[in-house]
Structures are given as structure tokens and as C-alpha cells.
Structure 1
Amino acid sequence: MRQTSPPAAPPTTTPEAEATRGTAPARSRLPLAALRRAVRSGAWKRGPVLTGAALLLGLVMLLHAEIPNRIGSLGSLVETFLPWFGLFVPVLAAGALWRRSAAAVLALVLPVTVWLSLFGGLLADKSEPGGDLTVATHNVGADNPDPAGTARHLVASGVDVLALEEITAEDRTAYEKELAGAYPYHTVQGTVGLWSRLPLSHTRPVDIRTDYGPLADTKPADVQAADGRALRATVATDRGPLVVYVAHLGSVRLNPRAGFWTDSRDRNARALGDVLAADPSERVILLGDLNGSLDDRALAGITSQLHSTQDAAGDGFGFSWPATFPVARIDQILVRGLEPTGSWVLSATGSDHLPVAAGISW
């Protein structure tokens, strides 16, 4: 009888080896398979409008300085409300998720990154304890129904130096009376004034009108109205003299036909920038209603020489107008040769602006 060899036993493998042998190829194919499924499902093709809108939003914020001002001051209008463009991000994100558009979700990386690079630093509280001096500025409003109450509210803030803008002839007496006890030194030039706990000297008006030379008698009425809208004074501190400017730049208007009208404001800003450039003082503060955010290119002549207390030491955006629902910071405190230690917004008065204050240090 012929003997036959028994059948060979199947190779023995451990459960771990079997699991490894069975799953390793699948794992290596998983990302590629997911990508193929996404392509087949059309996730990268859905929502082209949402994708384009996300990219456009990012480019507008990134290249806002390139938006021309020739037509209706469009560039300045965008820059005034630039922080609010971030609100479009969650709207587009919700649309992208609803449409299940992978391309739109990916495109949102651009506006998110740009917005955070522009304004992310404002989300943290950068204030520090201490400081040598506190200052505040407030457009009290020509239509303020309670100037005396506004003055008492400002006294309660406890600041050392206080600037007021838009003081009418009728309300001037009320402000001088209510502020006299806390601020023994003051000067009023036209519609702007400065009150101080420390002595003032060398007070004078500052002409922020455009110099028309031989055409001065024919200058536009809005430029003539800029007279009495700025002043300069020196505050005597125990650390040396401090030069303070108070300014109220021309108003801006949003007109459906003319667009964002800023001519008067822009002329005042250029003139004030020239004044600041010619001032050799080491320590300078500018307090006032500039009728524009610091992102607005029209204020570049000012912001190139002084830096914002809100950017350096604020907590949040510090919006100051309108008082009922602030959407822009147009009331500014800018410094040169000083270090801001804090910046904050005071509670509402009878004005349509909110007062803003700051602490500074040598």
C-alpha cells in the first residue's frame, strides 16, 4: 500500500498578525477613498457662489487699501466699517454647511485669517495697572438736552484732563460752571475746549483749514466752518510739559447720490497732520472727534505720527458712535512719546457719542 503524506497544516498566525495583514492596506487607502467619495458626491463642486463670496470677502479685507476713493469715497467707507466684515464669515459658513460645499468651507480660511490678522489683537485686554495721567474726550453734541448732567457725568469719571467738542455758545456756560470745581484750569476755542486739574499754558486755536493762499476769500463755506474746531495747549505735569491737541474734524455724510462725502473731514485731517508734523514736542496727545476710524486712509497723515491708545492698551474695539448702538470708533486718543496703560469707553450721556478715556505713562 502506498503511503500518502498527510496534508500540510495551514500556517499558524497570531490574531495580531492577521489584524495587521487585513487592515494595513485599508488604512493606507482610507484618505484616498474619502477623497474619491467626496469628488464623486460633488462636495467640491457645490456652492460655487458661496466659494466666490468667501474669496471676495477675504480679498476685500486684505486689499482694502487698494479700493479707490475716486467714486463716492468707497475706500474710506469700507475702512470705516471694516471690523464688521467679519460678520459675513459665520453667515457664509452656515451656507457652506447647508450646501455641504467643501470648496466653500476651504475658501473661508482666507477671510478668517485676514480678519484675525487685522483685528485679532483687539480681542484681548491689553491694559496695565497704574499710569501717570488719565485723559478723556467727548463730543458732547450740539443737541444735547442736558449739558449740565453731561458735565457732572464726566466729572465723576475722575480723569485728569478732559477735552470736549461741539460746545455751543448756549451750552458753554453750563459746562464751565459744572466743571469748574474739579478742573480749575480750562480753555475754550470756538467749539472745542480743554479742562485740566493741572495748570495750562500756551493755549491757542489751531487752524485746520486748508490754506488757499490768494484764493482764501473764495474758500468753500464748509472750510470756513472749520474755524474754531481745534486748539493746542501745554499741560504742566510733574514729569515735564505735555502738549495736548483737541480737534473736531469735519463731518461726513452718506448720500445715496454722492456716496460717502468726506471732503471737509479729509481737508481738516491733512491740515492737522501738517500741524503735528511741524510740532517738535517730545510728548503729544491728540484728543478729539476725528469723524473716522483709524483704518481710514484719510487719517494717514495723523496716524503715521501718533499711535492709538485703544490699539495699544484697549479691551475690545472701543466703538463710540452712535451712542445707542455703537458701530464705529470715531472718537480718538492718540499719543506720541508716551505709553498707554489703558483705554476704555465711558457710559452714555445726553450726546449721540460715547466718551472715551485712556491712561498714559511716561
Structure 2
Amino acid sequence: MTQEYTAQSVTAGEERHRPESRVRVLFDRWRRDPGIWRRGIITAVFAVATAFLMMFHAQIPNTIGNLGSLTETFLAWVGLMVPLLLLVALVRRSATALIAVLLPAIVWLNQFGGLLTDKSTGGGDFMVATHNVNADNPDPEGTAAKLTESGADVIALEELKEDDVPVYEKALAGTYKYHSVQGTVGLWSKYPLSATRPVDIKLGWVRAMRSTVTTPEGPVAFYVAHLPSVRVKLHAGFTANQRDKSADALGEAIFDEKLDRVILLGDLNGTVNDRSLKAVTSQMRSTQGAAGYGYGFSWPASFPMARIDQIMVRGVEPTSSWSLPRTESDHLPIAARVDLTQS
């Protein structure tokens, strides 16, 4: 009798410790809880508000501190609210909040879930790279060496300090026979350059350029640009007006480009989600979005939070996109492979 009772107790004890049994007990407890639907209303409201923020970010006005652009720059990070709200819903034992949290989770996955998959297709025998090298870079020679090691056919550099230009020219000369520096931006290429000129982006000094690279597959128009920096200030919000005017001017230059194949390399100081860059993004494809893996955040290098450095194409098929190893700059260099025979 004692042995039978003991065996039954052991069996019951094992049953209680099975994972599925614990889950069943939890749900049974929640089902009998009369407040399960009444609790968590505030959490549910926050969940719905988070979903609406992601769904209708384009409706946030830029008239006050460029709030819309600021939101769009870091829009992907809004998704962090989902696990936070889920945790609160579980702690509060609120079915209402749990159901509400599904809404921002679905919206985020719809908008950004695709970036979690590898979209590279392989192939693409032409490689390009771009890097804001930082005017205060303490090791320009080492930075140039790392970029050379990438094997890129064409490299664009931004934020070139006049005193450092000879250092980059010397360090890159062995691999890149052709180059041009216009103001604070430059283009280094294994193939001949022609029709090189500054591009006026309404700044009063040169921070953008255009050049034709004669690749093995024919001429390709390359643009290099470093749009003005933006700042987040308590009294002024997201100060991006000058950046926005420069983006419009750059977009006009690219729109007027006669060649069918165009590649833009540079630091645009904004993400492709930012509506203020639509003059550029509306007519070009981001290699990261089309053929990259993950978000490809490039700034700040110590803890990347946004992809403000861009490789964008028109009339060219991107096949892969990725970040290169960190240099002494505050930006990560980025690279992409493209197929020049397809569009």
C-alpha cells in the first residue's frame, strides 16, 4: 500500500514538473483569474500606440524639430518596445496586454523582418566600397591599408582632411591607379576615370563629386557625396534643414545623369527611411535593402545604431552588401558587389 502510494506520488510529482504540465497549470490559473482581461489596459494602450507609430510614421510632421525624420532615422529601434511590453504583460498576467502586443510585433516584422534574412544572391564581379574616414582619424595610412585589403574595385572616401590627402594617395596608389579628390571627397579606381567634376549640393564648398568609371562592362557613373551633418538638440530638435537641401540638390544631379548605370557612394547622414532623402532614395536602390544581411548599421562605429552611410544603385543589380572591419574612424566602411551586366 505504501509502495503503491509512493509510486503514485512520484508519478504525480514528475507530471507536475513536466514543462507542458507547468504551462497547463499556468494557463489554468490565468483562466480562473477574474482580472485577466481588466489588468494591463495601460500596457495595451502603449502597445497599440507603438504599432501606430510604426505604421503611420510618415504622418509625423517635420514642421517641429524635424520630428518625422528623427523618428524615421531610428525607426527600426522602436521594435525594442515589443519585448519590453511583452515582459510587462506577462508580469501583470494580462491577456488584454498580451493580445495587444501582437499588433506592434506583426507591424515590426512586416516592416523590418525581411532585413533579418540574407538576400545576397552570389555572383557580382564588381566590388565597391565607401568610407567616411573622419577628419580626425589618427591613422589614415592604416585606414587606407584596410580598405585596400577589401579587394574593392572602386573606393570612395569622405571627410578627407587636406593634410591627409597625400597620405591616402600614397597608400592607395599601388592598387588604385586612377583617382580624383574634389574638396573633401575622393574616388579611387582600378579603372580609368573621366568626366570628373564637383557636384554642387548648395553648401558653398565641395562635398560631392561625379566621375565616369570605364569598367570592363562599360562606363558607369559614380557619385560620391557627404551630406551635411545633423544634430539632435533639445531647443531645436533634429536640425537637418541644410542636409535636406543638399539631398534635394544631389537628387537633381542624379536625375539629370545621362548614363543608365549609376552608383552612389557616400555618407548621406540619414537612413533610407528618412523622407527628407526621397529626392535620392526615390530613384535609387539601397544595396543593403536589396542584397544585404541584417541592418548594416554603420554609425557610430563603437556601437552602430543607424545606417547613414549608403551604397545606392540605378541600372545596376546588387548581389551582396556588408560592412567592412572597423578602422580608426567613427564610421564603419561598407561594401557591395554588383552585377554590371544586369539591371
Kindly report which structure 2 residues correspond to 1:255-294, keeping only aligned pairs within 5 A, or say none. 255-294=233-272
Q: Partners in 2 of 1:332 and 1:79 — Cα distance?
A: 16
Q: Which residue of 1 aligns with 2:211?
A: 233
User: Structure 1 unaligned runs (5+)?
Assistant: 1-33, 210-222
Q: Which residue of 2 aligns with 1:326?
A: 304
- Please say which structure displays the higher CA radius of gyration: 1
Q: Partners in 2 of 1:44 and 1:297 — Cα distance?
A: 39
Query: AA paired with 1:142?
Result: A
1:104 matched to 2:97? The reply is yes
1:178 aligns with one of 167, 171, 177: 171
| CA drift at 1:169 | 0.5
Q: Partners in 1 of 2:32 and 2:176 — Cα distance?
A: 71
Moved over 2 A (4+): 37-40
Note the alpha carbon deviations across 1:191-216, whole angstroms, 9 max, x for none: 0000000111111000011xxxxxxx
TM-score (structure 2 length as normaliser): 0.89
Kindly report which structure 2 residues correspond to 1:1-362, keeping only aligned pairs within 5 A, or say none. 38=31, 41-209=34-202, 223-224=203-204, 227-361=205-339, 362=341
Q: Partners in 2 of 1:59 and 1:256 — Cα distance?
A: 25
Note the alpha carbon deviations across 1:149-199, whole angstroms, 9 max, x for none: 101111011100000000011110100000000000000000000000011
Give the secondary structure class of the aligned counterpart of 1:108.
Answer: helix
Query: AA paired with 2:81?
Result: F
Query: AA paired with 2:241?
Result: D
Give the secondary structure class of the aligned counterpart of 2:108.
Answer: helix
Q: Partners in 1 of 2:307 and 2:86 — Cα distance?
A: 28
Q: Partners in 2 of 1:138 and 1:166 — Cα distance?
A: 9
Identity of aligned residues (%): 58
User: Structure 2 unaligned runs (5+)?
Assistant: 1-26
Query: AA paired with 1:104?
Result: A
Give the secondary structure class of the aligned counterpart of 2:224.
Answer: strand
| CA drift at 1:280 | 2.8
| CA drift at 1:39 | 8.7
Q: Which residue of 2 aligns with 1:7?
A: none
Give the secondary structure class of the aligned counterpart of 1:158.
Answer: coil
| CA drift at 1:38 | 4.7
| CA drift at 1:110 | 1.2
Asked if structure 2 preserves the Cα contact closer than 8 Å seen for 1:74 and 1:260, the reply is yes
TM-score (structure 1 length as normaliser): 0.85
Q: Partners in 1 of 2:125 and 2:175 — Cα distance?
A: 18
Query: AA paired with 2:225?
Result: A
Query: AA paired with 1:49?
Result: I
Q: CA RMSD in A?
A: 1.3
Query: AA paired with 1:81?
Result: F
Asked if structure 2 preserves the Cα contact closer than 8 Å seen for 1:38 and 1:44, the reply is no
Asked if structure 2 preserves the Cα contact closer than 8 Å seen for 1:340 and 1:358, the reply is yes
Give the secondary structure class of the aligned counterpart of 2:242.
Answer: helix
